[in-house]
Amino acid sequence: MGITVSNISKSYKDVKALQNISFDVKPNELFGLIGPDGAGKTTLFRILTTLLIANEGQATVADLDVLKDFKEIRKHVGYMPGRFSLYQDLTIEENLTFFATIFGTTIEENYELIKDIYVQIEPFKDRRAGKLSGGMKQKLALCCALIHKPKVLFLDEPTTGVDPVSRKEFWEMLKRLQQKGITILVSTPYMDEAALCDRIALIQDGKILQIDTPEAIVNQYPKTIYNVSANNMYLLINSLKAYPHQHSVYPFGEFVHYTDTREGFNPEELEQYLEVQNLLNIRIEKTEATIEDSFMELAK
Amino acid sequence: MRKDYYKNLYSLFYSPYSFKIMRTILFIIQKEFKQIFRNKGMLPIIFVLPLLQLVILSNAATFEVKNIKFSYIDSNHSMSSRALIEKFQASTYFNVLTDFPSEVLASSAMLKGEVDVVLNIPAHFERDLQKEKKAKLGITINAIDGAAAGVTNVYISQIIQSYNKNIQTDLMQFSDMQIRPVNIETIPLFWYNETLNYKTFMVPGILVLLVTMITLFLSGMNIVREKEIGTLEQINVTPIKKSQFIIGKLFPFWAIGMGLLTIGLILARLIFDVPMVGSVILMYSYTSIFILVILGMGLFISNFTDTQQQAMFIAWFFVVIFILMSGLFTPIESMPKWAQNITEFNPIKYFVEVMRMVMLKGSGFMDILPQLIKTLIYAIIMNGLAVWSYKKTT
């Protein structure tokens, strides 16, 4: 009932969008595809939702082949594209009724599934979709993708361009949908959202870097990370990058994440070096790796 | 027995499956109409502008040449030359504006566009006419618009001929009466448009133009629009059938096309008093097939374009060619042979023919059968191509 992808490749002329991608999504799993823009996430979604045909490889969705059984797949999947693509000139209710009708069902039939989400936008049901806020548009799109009670839900960057509060709410909704037995494949460029998935695949330039649970990925991070801060961020980054023993230097909020090439690295040595560079208020502390650090390390 | 029969019939038409399909199609149609009527910018474009066009174009698009700016150089100043000029003054087609003392002034006025015709009467006009029974006149016509110049030339020749006839008879009196020329007068009788009213001829044609343009543009742009806003992708992942979607999308434009025809016919009757000699039902039956051709074309265009702009340009390209080669403004008979062959593939040509035949001549079903069959074949081919090229998967 999940998704299997084996050796899928897809090129657009000279650009290799996907190269030999393989992974499995277990039934009832919340699986995340994490990667920057242009990594090939949307291409993969389009292949799995039968909108695009891969050059090579096989894939199944809910035990149905994406090539042979594409008609059957379309009955059982919900797809929410990255771009809001509902009718802006129809109201919330009309959009929902429209999608219910073309899926051959009614709102009432599957109301239970969307109830939690729909009640939040129901007060505005006579408002046109084009006049809704970003968060409400996204809830409407999710309702429309769920109205036929799909077995598998595909969400392509559902939280891009959505405020932090709505993003948090959205992920809570996904968790609840998962409890109702829906397999969810979600893509996002936000590393902090990765931690909310059961398992994630890190993807870049059409290749999968690693697949595991978020915790395992973080635990496999090979080095000790230090949070470094000082009075002048720009000078700090430049100085660290000029330090002969540096392994990686990435700005991370108010800190810089620093790793060293040496085994027995002594932070005081670095502090002295930075003082020579005329930096003040220098602080160096150990910190835990995040998904983002893992991604950067893998993508190196 | 009887009851069972009805029950079977009932279940045939109202089986849950066919009911579901019908419901889907009806719903798409309903949605499409909602969107059309909510688009405040589109409504006037669909209904008001075409009718304005009908009224304006039908009054303006005429091949009658009137108010020709006429001038002359009279170097003769005789009875004969003045009589000739009076002939032109008496004509309703010519505005006799001025006379020039020299050819140089006349040609500079022609260059400035002040006059369109210069009649040059030479110094010995009257003498030559009386002595040698013939005289020469110089006529210069501004022929930038070749068609208008041709018509002007005919008018001028007619006036000079009738003047010449009079003068001939005048002159003849002095000589031998026996060789008076025999004049054969022709009295033309114009069938189907007795008063040679240009509007009677143009209105049906322009109505064709409007129905075609609006339905082609709207249907062509409509599906591309779904592509542009991304809803087509959303629809493609649903189990909806190609045919359901296409029928649901195109039916509203079919209805709009028929609506435009209705309004156009009413206006033709009320404003231009164009007769409707033939059968209205025949007119509508033909149009209903013709619009299918156009919708198929619109769908075909939208399958190969990504933006409304592209679709619009391609639609324009075809509409311009189709209209100019439809016999609407220029007769097909006067086109070169290769162009005439091309017009065989022009559906608008058939619509113009049928419209004029049925409205003005009262042609019946059998008369328009060739056009009807050709249009039907066209409709099947166009829609076949359109459905074939519409793909839910890329």
Nearest partner of B229 among B359, B67, B68, B39, judged by Cα: B39
A61 contacts chain B (CB < 8 A): no
Q: In B, residues 37-56, which contact A (CB 8 Å cutoff)?
A: 38-39
Q: Which residue has the tokens 């079977």?
A: B8
Q: Tokens for A110?
A: 């599957």
What does pTM read for this prediction?
0.75
For A170-179, the CB contacts below 8 A with 24+ separation are A170/A135, A170/A138, A170/A139, A170/A142, A171/A196, A173/A116, A173/A117, A173/A139, A173/A142, A174/A30, A175/A30, A176/A116, A177/A113, A177/A146, A177/A153, A178/A28, A178/A29, A178/A30
Neighboring chain B residues of A87 at a CB cutoff of 8 Å: 31, 35, 229, 231
Q: List % helix, strand, coil for chain A (3-state, nearest 5).
A: 35, 30, 35
Interface test with B, best of A101, A126, A131 (most B CBs within 10 A): A101
Angle at A156 between CA A151 and CA A160, to 5 degrees: 135
For chain A, list the domains and their CATH numbers.
3-219 (3.40.50.300), 225-299 (3.30.70)
Contact A146, A78 (CB under 8 A): yes
Write the DSSP assignment of A20-33 as a string of letters: EEEEEE-TT-EEEE
**What separation, in Å, do the N-terminal and C-terminal C-alpha atoms of chain B show?**
53
Pick from A238, A211, A232, A215: nearest CA to A298? A211
CB B393 to CB A99 under 8 A? Answer: no
Contact B394 A94 (CB under 8 A): no
Q: How many Å lie between the alpha carbon of B258 and the closest alpha carbon of chain A?
A: 25
pLDDT per residue rounded down to tens, chain A (300 residues): 689 999 999 998 888 889 999 999 999 999 999 988 888 899 999 999 998 999 999 999 999 998 888 888 989 999 998 888 889 889 999 999 999 988 888 888 889 889 988 998 999 989 999 898 888 888 999 999 999 999 999 999 988 878 888 888 889 999 999 999 999 999 988 888 888 999 999 999 999 989 999 899 888 888 888 999 888 889 889 888 888 888 989 988 889 999 888 888 888 888 888 888 888 888 888 888 888 888 888 887
Check CB contact of A85 with chain B, cutoff 8 Å: yes
Kindly identify which residue of chain B lies nearest to residue A84, measuring between CA atoms: B230
Q: What is the pLDDT of residue B288?
A: 95
A50 inside 8 A of chain B by CB:
yes
Q: Which fold has domain B68-179?
A: abc type-2 transporter like fold (3.40.1710)
Listed by number, the residues of chain B in 4-33 with a beta carbon closer than 8 Å to a beta carbon of chain A are 20, 23-24, 27-28, 31
DSSP lists the bridge partners of residue A156 as A187
Q: If you measure CA to CA, which chain B residue comes closest to A51?
A: B393
* Residue B77, CA atoms < 13 Å, CB-side half-sphere: 4
For B88-145, write each residue's pLDDT tens digit: 888 888 888 888 888 888 888 888 888 888 888 888 888 887 777 777 788 888 888 7
Q: Do B393 and A50 touch (CB under 8 A)?
A: yes
Among B230, B233, B238, select the one facing A102 at the smallest CB separation.
B238
Predicted complex: ipTM over 0.95: no
Query: Do residue A81 and residue B24 have CB atoms under 8 angstroms apart?
Result: no
Per domain, the residue ranges of chain B are 29-60+195-389, 68-179
Q: Which of A83, A84, A294 is nearest to A204 (CA)?
A: A294
